[in-house]
Chains A and B, each alone.
Chain A
């Protein structure tokens, strides 16, 4: 049986999908409720969010969740573009590069921000 690297790609993809289903709605709801005035604006005050992101545990949580989400989205978007008719080898390669480059760039920006904090 030949070895496949699929499981290595699938694990972060599935983890990102699970986080998008389990954790993301709650995070979105929290921010939205502040925006709609149902929760106090101090919830997202500069000092408060800064303290959370600068805390090693908070920073690690943000890094893991956001990184897995963008890589999940990048991979899924790449596959969807293929489904929609981009099938030539060259074009597929360009789409893959664009998607993963965007995800890598996001990871780098996030990492730098968390280190600065």
Chain B
């Protein structure tokens, strides 16, 4: 496949040409906050391993004004990721029960039911 003659022309602002393209880019960019939030917690656990002072420094940073703002923006972007991920679920998993395929809506609702159960469990375990 050397020297393929076809070079598609893509302007850098392709994502502005249609609202659905912009939504696609927004959805993909939510990964920045997933990575940043998980990365913050890795640094937090690293601080935790260092002792009490490190952990309390990490918590003070997370609970400061800018830390809370970061958390709110990260939560909103992860919720957007969640909605779009569940929306795509019926297309990536075609379930069949007793020879009949499960309707896309059932697959999506099923994901939200599991999500609700996980959320209640995490919050309950967190404060227990």
Binding site for B on A (CB under 8 A): 14, 16-18, 20-32, 34-36, 39-40, 43-44, 46, 49-50, 53, 62, 66, 69-70, 72-74, 76-77, 79-80, 83-85, 87, 106, 109-110, 112-114, 116-117
Given contacts A35-B62, A66-B42, 11 further A-B contacts (CB under 8 A): A20-B85, A21-B85, A25-B119, A66-B38, A72-B31, A73-B31, A73-B34, A83-B15, A84-B25, A106-B38, A113-B48
B42 and A17 contacting across the interface, CB-CB below 8 Å: no
B45 and A28 contacting across the interface, CB-CB below 8 Å: no
- From A29, A35, A77, A106, contact of B63 by CB (8 A): A35
Interface string of B24-53 (1 = CB under 8 A from A): 010011011011011101110110110010
Known: A20-B78, A83-B28. A106 touches B12 (CB 8 A): no
Q: Kindly provide the distance from the CB of B6 to the nearest chain A CB, expressed in whole angstroms.
A: 13
Q: Number of contacting residues on B, CB 8 A?
A: 49
Number of A-B contacts (CB under 8 A): 142
Q: Dominant SS at the A interface?
A: helix
Could you tell me the distance between the alpha carbons of A28 and B80 in the complex, rounded to whole angstroms? 14
Q: Kindly provide the distance from the CB of B107 to the nearest chain A CB, expressed in whole angstroms.
A: 13
- Can you list 9 contacts pairing A with B, beta carbon distance less than 8 Å? A24-B37, A25-B82, A27-B122, A35-B62, A35-B68, A46-B56, A72-B31, A73-B35, A112-B49
B34 and A109 contacting across the interface, CB-CB below 8 Å: no
Known: A21-B86, A39-B127, A113-B48. A28 touches B74 (CB 8 A): yes
> In the complex, which residues of chain A have a beta carbon less than 8 angstroms from the beta carbon of B123?
26, 29-30
Chain A CB within 8 A of B5 CB: no
A84 and B63 contacting across the interface, CB-CB below 8 Å: no
